[in-house]
Amino acid sequence: MARNTRRLFSGRNNHSLPHTIELSDTTANPLSKQQAILEAATRAFLSRGYAGASMEAIAEAAPVSKPTLYSYFHNKQALFAAVIARRCETLLCALSRAQIENLGVEACLTTIARSFIDFIYAEDTLNLHRLIIAEHHAFPELGELVYRRGPQPVLNELAAYLKGLNERGLLQMADVNRAAQLFLSMLKGHEHLRCLLGLQTGLSEAEKTGLIQAVVSFFIRGHRHAD
């Protein structure tokens, strides 16, 4: 099997003399390569920002060749979107699992809420959120890109689940899309803004549990007897 190789150059300017060494990609497994790229990209974006993270540096950190990197992600925008989508995978899996396991309404919403809370209050998620806001003026396209790959699929999946509850007569919602938005917004709470601003580091397990119980209970009461 042919190896993918790449050149590494020392120095930071055009006056540095290059030296070349051959590096092979660490694995032939496409899935492992993609995961390695995404992990390296996440570290690069968080430490250097979107503008400061180069595709070359990410390839070196993975480590994979530049042709291999571009075979998976054709530009930095696509790579950043994939990083966000990967962060949301666990949450989407929780939504699907809760439906497949056919849990009761309260248990299912609690499972979804726990996954969402753990996700949005994770340190890396908070840092990515700050990064997107900080880079908005220089890269305004990032906002829409991130929304399409992250929040939008989560909202769609939750709305689909709530629609099923409507159809089964378990809850009554005039607008399942609005209900999904309100459910997730209540879970963010005031503390999420405080975390983004650096005023607190996160929620304790007791605080998470209390918030989840309050939101799930309030949501079910509000929609179980809706007109």
Q: Is residue 156 part of a domain?
A: yes
Q: Find the radius of gyration of the CA atoms of the chain.
A: 21
Pair 172, 92 in one domain: yes
DSSP annotation of 165 = H
- The residue from 53, 74, 95 where one domain ends is 74
Q: Is residue 165 part of a domain?
A: yes
In tens digits, the chain (227 residues) has pLDDT values of: 444 433 333 333 443 333 333 334 444 566 688 999 999 999 999 899 888 999 999 999 999 999 999 999 999 988 998 888 888 887 788 777 776 667 789 999 999 999 999 999 999 889 989 988 888 888 888 888 888 888 898 899 999 999 999 999 999 999 999 999 999 999 998 899 999 999 998 899 999 999 999 999 999 999 985 44
- CATH code of the domain in which 45 resides: 1.10.10.60
Residue range(s) defining the domain that contains residue 64: 1-74
Find the DSSP H helices in the chain.
Answer: 30-52, 55-61, 66-72, 76-100, 105-120, 123-134, 141-149, 151-167, 176-196, 205-224
Number of domains in the chain: 2
Q: Which amino acid is at 170?
A: L
DSSP annotation of 222 = H
Q: Is residue 81 part of a domain?
A: no
Q: Is residue 54 part of a domain?
A: yes
pTM: 0.75
Residue 23: predicted pLDDT = 39
Pair 45, 156 in one domain: no
Q: Is residue 79 part of a domain?
A: no
Residue 97: predicted pLDDT = 76
Between CA 147 and CA 7 the distance in angstroms is: 36
CB burial of 171-194 (b: ≥16 within 10 Å; e: otherwise) equals bebeebeebbebbbeebbbebbee
Pair 140, 163 in one domain: yes
Residue 86: predicted pLDDT = 85
Q: Is residue 82 part of a domain?
A: no
Pair 114, 175 in one domain: yes
Pair 183, 212 in one domain: yes
Pair 107, 203 in one domain: yes
Q: Is residue 80 part of a domain?
A: no
Pair 110, 194 in one domain: yes
Residue 3: predicted pLDDT = 43
